[in-house]
């Protein structure tokens, strides 16, 4: 996934779409105040410069689908593991709620179900039948909308064709009104995400790459040059 931070407006449409697509429960004001909010994407806000020349920018932060995921090696029941297509997957019916994976996640993007899931009416009527409803005591996280990946892959197989670049779109990518999020096969030289990555090499970064987690989410961010340096 490639996210252009220079386009992101911080509107949180990605967060809302993610919640609706993946049956993420509501927890209420009291639990939010205790830091137990349930969101697979957090829109983080940063500020650059000194007053009055301050610039704000936003960074959607979700599971980075690390190639060398520190959350996987600490799970005693192998609930966190790597799928064949490179996703960092969470097997809910194996999870026993130790939360070791959350403690070892460098990005703090895993969330724990402290209570049975709840949706105030009429939100319970919009649950996605393609996604499991997780119970209490289970750790959960972003899956890159794996249900959409599986469906598009099967449709292409039935129609005896290859997947089209851009055909796979997680809910957050589809909902982004600023077109700041892109999804595709990074190793495919002809894909849009590969072109964006190569054409914007000077402003691309991977969060906490120095930790050797090998994250698969690339952020694009223009480097701010202080006016004193320009002069």
> What pLDDT does residue 229 have?
55
Using 70 as the pLDDT threshold, list the residues of the chain that sit under it. Answer: 224-231
Quick one: DSSP state of residue 42?
Answer: E
Rounded CA-CA distance 9/43 in Å is 10
pLDDT of residue 225: 61
pLDDT of residue 160: 95
Q: What is the pLDDT of residues 117-131, one digit of tens each?
A: 989 899 889 999 999
What CA–CA distance (Å, rounded) separates 65 from 162?
24
Tell me, what's the pLDDT at 18?
97
pLDDT at 58: 94
Structure confidence at residue 228 (pLDDT): 58
**The pLDDT of residue 51:** 87
The residues, any chain, with a CB within 8 Å of residue 65's CB and separated by 6 or more, are 1, 86, 87, 88, 142, 144, 215, 216, 217
């Amino acid at each position: 996934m490639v996210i252009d931070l220079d386009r992101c407006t911080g509107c949180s449409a990605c967060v809302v779409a993610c919640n609706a697509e993946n049956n993420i429960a509501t927890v209420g004001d009291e639990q939010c105040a205790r830091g137990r909010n349930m969101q697979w994407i957090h829109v983080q806000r940063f500020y650059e410069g000194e007053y009055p020349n301050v610039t704000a920018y936003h960074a959607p932060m979700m599971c980075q689908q690390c190639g060398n995921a520190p959350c996987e090696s600490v799970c005693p029941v192998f609930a966190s593991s790597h799928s064949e297509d490179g996703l960092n997957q969470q097997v809910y019916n194996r999870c026993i709620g130790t939360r070791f994976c959350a403690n070892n996640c460098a990005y703090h993007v895993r969330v724990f179900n402290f209570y049975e899931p709840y949706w105030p009416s009429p939100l319970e009527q919009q649950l996605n039948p393609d996604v499991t409803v997780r119970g209490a005591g289970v750790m959960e996280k972003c899956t890159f909308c794996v249900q959409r990946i599986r469906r598009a892959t099967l449709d292409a197989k039935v129609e005896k064709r290859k997947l089209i670049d851009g055909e796979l779109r997680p809910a957050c990518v589809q909902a982004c009104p600023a077109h700041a999020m892109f999804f595709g096969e990074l190793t495919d030289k002809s894909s849009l995400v590969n072109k964006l990555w190569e054409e914007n090499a000077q402003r691309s970064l991977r969060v906490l790459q120095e930790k050797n987690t090998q994250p698969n989410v690339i952020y694009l961010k223009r480097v701010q040059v202080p006016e004193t340096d320009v002069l």
